[in-house]
Chain A
Amino acid sequence: MTKIRMTLNGAPVVREVEDRTSLADFLREECGLTATHLGCEHGACGACSVDVDGLLTRACLKFAVQCDGRTVTTLEGLNQDRVTEALRDAFHRAHALQCGFCTPGMLVTARDLLLRNPQPSEAEIRDALAGNICRCTGYAGIVHAIALAADELIRHPRSL
């Protein structure tokens, strides 16, 4: 067991973890943050996407001990984030979720895309989503929603 400290969704967290515990298991099992979903546990599905120090991260491919001293933000921590709010609203309007299992990873990944590229083309959106699998195959709605959110953020940069 190793003692780790991190800033999690804005608050300091100190915990003892087993070295082999993934960041995803740490978030879900130790911290009760269940928006981070685990699909494949080997980096292929994107359901566990979170933000570590501003970097888009697969929580299944980081061990919690590797995040000692870092700042981790999960979907729960993006409640007041303006890009995430625009995306959430657009996902609702564009019917961009069916079962919802992939949705947290889609939102975190789409936010990362819009922060780097505020006006992505459809091809760029699809490229950015290549590592996020929706087993309901609802991609058309998801791609549409991200384009809607981008438009909304461009047209009303401060209203959200």
Chain B
Amino acid sequence: MKPSPFTYRRATSVADAIVLLAVAPDETAAIAGGQSLGPLLNLRMTTAGTLIDLAAISELRESRDLGDAVFIGAGVTHAEIEDGKVPDPSHGFMRRAAAKIAYRAIRCHGTIGGSVAMADPAADWPCILLALNATARIAGPQGERRLAMDDLLVAAYETNLAAGEIILGFEIPKLDDTARAASSKINRKTGAFADSLAVAVRQGARSRVTLGAASIRARILPQTSAALAQGESLEALRPLVASDVAALLAAPDPYLQNLHATNVMRTLAEVLGA
């Protein structure tokens, strides 16, 4: 239950972090809140020759209103979102969702950027930011680039971040005035990782429904999203949800099928006011 030895370096700026990460990319890991990486290191499920701490980088803690979107820095913690300390593009939805992540002690340190970079298939922010159609801003040795959430997520603990790249933050489009958003998590106990995580955002043509913990990464449910966008009723959505869930499961499984479909239907009932 103790990590194997590593060398710790504290990055002072984004530029500094990129230089430090480039020294030995295969043996170096970035750490922000460390609330997911810490357990993996302690359990020796992963090792690192050098840990580059991003927590002191003030640039990663900045958030701002962009007009039609909000930028939230990668180093913003779940608790800061829960407590409303950063601008909210989602009429309070992100605050409510943040409050459901793990436990308060974890939320005080775990960061939105770390959650996405870790890319646990059951994690909250990848699924939520995908539903909100967020775009990640990324910095690396080649400069800056932007990547939509759907293009950033690849598989379990795998993203399209290149060696030496870090997430600067996320541009999250503001929800329409009439939009409704909901998430539903099924887990064995309060704060445990999700057995199923569903997110629904209803706002006309930009409606989107996502599901986490069902496959190797959070996914958009295509048929369900399209039908929600067209204003279909809850009952009309039911078979499309079943079809989308079945397509995500690695193998047919009546229990998982029912678990995920029920969870998605809960979020749809909420955003439809049913």
CB of A80 closer than 8 Å to a CB of B? no
B-side interface size class:
20 to 34
List B contacts of A113 (CB < 8 A): 104
A-B contact count (CB 8 A): 86
Interface of A is mostly: mixed
Q: Are A61's CB and B103's CB within 8 A?
A: no
* Interface pair A131/B34, CB less than 8 Å apart: no
A114 → chain B closest CB, angstroms: 12
Residue contact A41 to B42, C-beta cutoff 8 Å: yes
**CB atoms of B35 and A130 under 8 A apart:** no
Contact status A46-B103, CB under 8 Å: yes
Selected from B34, B104, B106, the residue in CB contact (under 8 A) with A128 is B104
Q: Which of the listed residues B8, B10, B103 has the most CB atoms from chain A within 10 Å of its own CB?
A: B103
B109 A41 Cβ-Cβ under 8 A: no
Contact residues on A (Cβ < 8 Å of other chain), bracket: 20 to 34
CB atoms of A131 and B5 under 8 A apart: no
Chain A residues numbered 136-151 whose CB sits less than 8 Å from any CB in chain B: none
Are A131 and B105 neighbours in the complex by a CB distance under 8 Å?
yes
CB nearest neighbor in A for B102? A131
Report the Cα distance A99→B35, complex, angstroms.
Answer: 28
Given contacts A20-B2, A130-B103, contact A62 B8 (CB under 8 A): no
Bound-state CA distance A22–B39 (Å) is 11
Q: Are B191 and A130 in contact (CB under 8 A)?
A: yes
Q: Is the CB of B190 closer than 8 A to any CB of chain A?
A: yes
Nearest CB in chain A: distance from B95 CB, A? 14
Q: Does A42 contact B (CB under 8 A)?
A: yes
Q: Is the CB of A49 within 8 A of B5?
A: no
Closest chain B residue to A127 by CB distance? B190
Residues of B with C-beta under 8 A to A22: 2, 42
Whether a CB of chain B sits under 8 angstroms from the CB of A74 is no
Question: Does B79 count as interface, using CB distance less than 8 angstroms?
Answer: yes
Contacts of A63 in B (CB 8 A): 8, 34, 51
- Name 7 extra pairs, CB < 8 A, besides A58-B109, A61-B38, A66-B53: A18-B5, A22-B2, A41-B1, A46-B105, A55-B108, A56-B108, A131-B102
By Cβ-Cβ distance, the 8 closest A-B pairs, closest first, are A131-B103, A130-B190, A42-B39, A41-B1, A61-B38, A19-B8, A55-B108, A130-B191
Q: Which residue numbers of A lie inside 8 Å of B, CB to CB?
A: 2, 18-20, 22, 25, 40-43, 46, 49, 55-58, 60-63, 65-66, 68, 109, 112-113, 126-128, 130-131
